[in-house]
Amino acid sequence: MRLWGGHGRLRHQRLQTILTVAALATAVALPVVLLSVGGGVSQHELNDLENAGYQIVISAAGLHGVANAHALTDRILAIPSVTAASPVLSVAIDVFLGSGAAVPSLAEGVIPDQFTPTLGPTESGLFPAHLPLGDPTDELHYANGTYAGPANYSILVSSPFAQAYSLSVGQSVKLAPTANDSQAVAYNITGIFGVPLGTLGEVGAFALLLPLSDLQVMTGYAHGPGVPVPDAADTLEVAVTGAVATNPTALNQVRNEIAALVPYYGVSTLSQEAEQLQTAASVLTGFYLALSSVGLTVGLVFLALVMMRRVESDRRSIGVRRALGLPARSIVGRVLLQSVVVAGLGAVIGVVAGILLVEGLATWATGAVQEAAQLAIFVPLTLAELTGAVLVLSLLAGGSAARAALRLDLAEALR
Amino acid sequence: MTGGVVPTVELRGVERTYESGEADEVRALRGVDLSLPPGEVVSIEGPSGCGKTSLLNLLGLLDAPTRGEVRWDGRSVGGRTDRERARLRLERVGFIFQRFYLLPTLTARENVELPMRALGTPRADRQARASALLAEVGLAGRERAFPHQLSGGEEQRVAVARALANQPGLLLADEPTGELDSENTEAILALLGRVQEERKATLVLVTHNPAVAGRARRHLTMRDGRVVGDARGA
């Protein structure tokens, strides 16, 4: 016995089946990609939070929005149980090498002796124990609201960057906030640091570390449009003593003390950050599912139409079965089985195609797309639920066709 | 397998009207009264469009009358559910359709097995019976052929075998030998006659073939939806 229609209609029905399977596979592949990549990125960020060496983070609404970073660091360090307060300014800059070509890179400005204690166990192994960036407090260059002292002009270069351009300690490179060579200032490479390549693409791994004040002056985030000095940073990460870090009540108390100092900034513990991240991930997952449901709905409507069409073209066979006295459940079961088989094929192919697509992006894509694809997580339960949902919905799609099959006028169908 | 009980079938004042187009309707049957006691062999003759197939459909519970009543064993079937009517067809009626209506996705043997499968006959029993029936209609060795691989005559013989699968009490045949040569016609008629004899089944034959009609002991003639002749004798 063959499942699909008669000999004469076989080719036509096969084409319909292939198109329906393709539509459903496409509709299923989309949520597979979105959920696996979205889930992977969220999980990666959660892992980063769990492995961080700090417990409280201060952030501002705008880009580079934390002002008076050096002074704020001093005030926070004055709070008992705070062991480190590290402002971080991240800016995209251009690096000019010997050839004169500008290489885009990510520069992070830090206060050396505050930065190292806020690194997590994984990251801390990638950096020298004491960053060779000159003044560990970054106060020689910057002090009391002025940038009067001599800049150190020292930088650390990430190992992929150093490897890609054969850079080594002792060499000099020029840095500029834009691709304009005339603004570039020479810096000495005083160290190399590692990056976890598994989670970063090649360009993302081209990173530099330099004193906060040097980066502020070079990029203009030392100076506001008027006289006031912004002394800008993006975030300020705060580490506390072990006893406080493991005591949620005590940690929250420190957070409140910091919040009292900077009521206009966001101050949150990492567990709060994690909750926010999970909430955001849930919202995104809901959005992905809503987006995917559009494709799935179209696919299932297509399936319903094809099943109706199939009942119409098989009306004589269905009429004969009913005329012979075959029970309704047999007629209905046959239509539903066809619907489920088509949907099941579409779902399985869609899942496989989604996985292959993500794997392909992780291998052959570039930049952020590749990085995100490399973080993708395929949860078997989610994939099974997705497939199950398609199968259940295919019963609805086939149900309307089965109902039509039972309502066929027998005399008409056999005429 | 014991087979279905042979029913007494009666039609009382039966009319059947079909919608045709927006305002037109076709009166296929007009006030037909008919009684078929168990074991009768009846031929129905008449010109095309006179209502023969419509009458056959009503007798076999494939259709319901617009007016009037169809009774089986003295009981009206009008109030029966679709499920009950389907069960009656499965257990007690064997159809031989004019255009065979074999299922194209099933082999010859699977087509014959289909009614038995629906009745819950064990696989081995139904396979053996299907093979035996196919052998009886001269199709031994053709069990695995699909309908498109069979000639018109072979398809018709498979259709006859399928109609006999559940040993029905009422056999309804619409031009059962229309595609057969004289030799095969004789073989099929002999088979139907033997089944009718063995089971005392009621056999209704719609035919234009005098040789087929000659097998009947009662001859109905139809014209314009009415039974205009009801004669007995070979």
Helix axes A270-313, A328-364, angle to 10 degrees: 130
Q: Is B162 on the interface with A (CB under 8 A)?
A: yes
Interface contact flag, A325 B97, Cβ < 8 Å: no
Asked if B96 contacts A320 with a C-beta cutoff of 8 angstroms, the reply is no
pLDDT at A6: 47
Q: Which residues of B touch A403 (CB under 8 A)?
A: none
Closest-approach residue (CA) in chain A for B58: A411
Q: Which residues of B touch A323 (CB under 8 A)?
A: 60, 62, 89, 95, 97, 101
Can you tell me the distance from the alpha carbon of A305 to that of A27, in angstroms, rounded to the nearest whole number? 16
Q: Is the pLDDT of residue B35 over 90?
A: yes
Q: Is the pLDDT of residue B2 over 60?
A: no
Q: Which residues of A touch B63 (CB under 8 A)?
A: 410-411
Closest-CA distance of chain B to residue A14, Å: 14
Higher pLDDT, A368 or B52: B52
Q: Is B101 on the interface with A (CB under 8 A)?
A: yes
| Closest by Cα among A406, A270, A261 to A327 | A406
Asked if A376 contacts A358 with a C-beta cutoff of 8 angstroms, the reply is yes
pLDDT at A178: 85
Across the strands, what pairs with A66?
A233
Closest-CA distance of chain B to residue A323, Å: 6
Q: Which residues of A touch B126 (CB under 8 A)?
A: none
Asked if A236 contacts A115 with a C-beta cutoff of 8 angstroms, the reply is no
Interface contact flag, B97 A320, Cβ < 8 Å: yes
Q: Is B131 on the interface with A (CB under 8 A)?
A: no
Closest-CA distance of chain B to residue A337, Å: 15
ipTM of the complex: 0.89
Closest-CA distance of chain B to residue A327, Å: 7
| Kind and range of the H or E run holding A251 | helix A248-261
Closest-approach residue (CA) in chain B for A4: B105
pLDDT at A203: 53
Interface contact flag, B118 A326, Cβ < 8 Å: yes
- CA B145 distance to own-chain centroid: 24
Interface contact flag, A410 B57, Cβ < 8 Å: yes
Tokens of A347: 């779902």
Can you tell me the distance from the alpha carbon of A264 to that of A77, in angstroms, rounded to the nearest whole number? 19
Interface contact flag, A325 B88, Cβ < 8 Å: yes
pLDDT at B78: 86
Can you tell me the distance from the alpha carbon of B159 to that of A268, in angstroms, rounded to the nearest whole number? 80
Can you tell me the distance from the alpha carbon of A24 to that of A26, in angstroms, rounded to the nearest whole number? 5
Q: Is the pLDDT of residue B1 over 80?
A: no
Can you tell me the distance from the alpha carbon of A338 to that of A311, in angstroms, rounded to the nearest whole number? 11
Helix axes B108-119, A315-324, angle to 10 degrees: 50
For an interface test with B, give the residue of A315, A324, A341, A410 to mutate (most B CBs within 10 A).
A324
Q: What are phi and psi of A7, to 5 degrees?
A: -60, -45
Per-residue pLDDT of chain A (415 residues; tens, 9 = 90+): 555 444 445 567 788 889 889 999 999 999 999 999 999 998 888 888 888 889 999 999 888 889 889 989 999 999 999 999 999 999 999 999 877 778 888 999 999 999 999 998 888 888 988 899 988 998 877 766 677 777 889 999 998 889 888 889 999 999 998 888 888 889 999 999 988 655 555 555 788 999 999 998 888 887 655 556 688 899 999 999 989 999 999 999 999 999 999 999 999 998 888 888 889 989 988 998 898 889 889 888 989 998 998 898 888 889 999 999 888 888 999 999 999 999 999 999 999 999 999 999 999 998 788 888 999 999 999 999 999 999 999 999 899 899 999 888 888 888 7
What mean pLDDT is reported for chain B?
89
Asked if A50 contacts A115 with a C-beta cutoff of 8 angstroms, the reply is no
The residues spanned by each domain of chain A are 10-46+277-413, 83-240
Characterize the bridge pairing of strands B170-174 and B226-232: unpaired
pLDDT at A198: 53
**Nearest Cβ partner for B89 among A3, A6, A325:** A325
Interface contact flag, B104 A321, Cβ < 8 Å: no
Q: Which residues of A touch B105 (CB under 8 A)?
A: 1-6, 317
Asked if A209 contacts A156 with a C-beta cutoff of 8 angstroms, the reply is yes
Interface contact flag, A324 B118, Cβ < 8 Å: yes
Higher pLDDT, A415 or B88: B88
Interface contact flag, B118 A325, Cβ < 8 Å: yes
Closest-approach residue (CA) in chain A for B112: A324
**Nearest Cβ partner for B114 among A5, A324, A414:** A324
Higher pLDDT, A253 or B178: A253
Size of interface A-B (CB pairs under 8 A): 78
**Nearest Cβ partner for B89 among A7, A317, A323:** A323
Q: Which residues of B touch A411 (CB under 8 A)?
A: 54, 57, 62-63
| Closest by Cα among A105, A52, A58 to A79 | A58
Higher pLDDT, A13 or B36: B36
Closest-CA distance of chain A to residue B211, Å: 26
**CATH value of B9-232 in 3.40.50.920, 3.40.50.300, 3.90.180.10, 3.30.70.920:** 3.40.50.300
Across the strands, what pairs with A94?
A104, A176
Closest-CA distance of chain A to residue B83, Å: 7
pLDDT at A229: 60
Residue type, B16: R
One DSSP character per residue, A87-136 reads EEEEEEEEEE-TT--EEEEEEEEE-HHHHGGG--HHHHTTS-SS--SS-T
Q: Which residue has the tokens 């020298």?
A: A128
Closest-CA distance of chain A to residue B68, Å: 18
Asked if A83 contacts A55 with a C-beta cutoff of 8 angstroms, the reply is no
Q: Which residues contact A99 (CB under 8 A, 6 or more apart)?
A: none
Interface contact flag, B63 A322, Cβ < 8 Å: no
The residues spanned by each domain of chain B are 9-232
Interface contact flag, A4 B83, Cβ < 8 Å: no
Can you tell me the distance from the alpha carbon of A390 to that of A387, in angstroms, rounded to the nearest whole number? 5
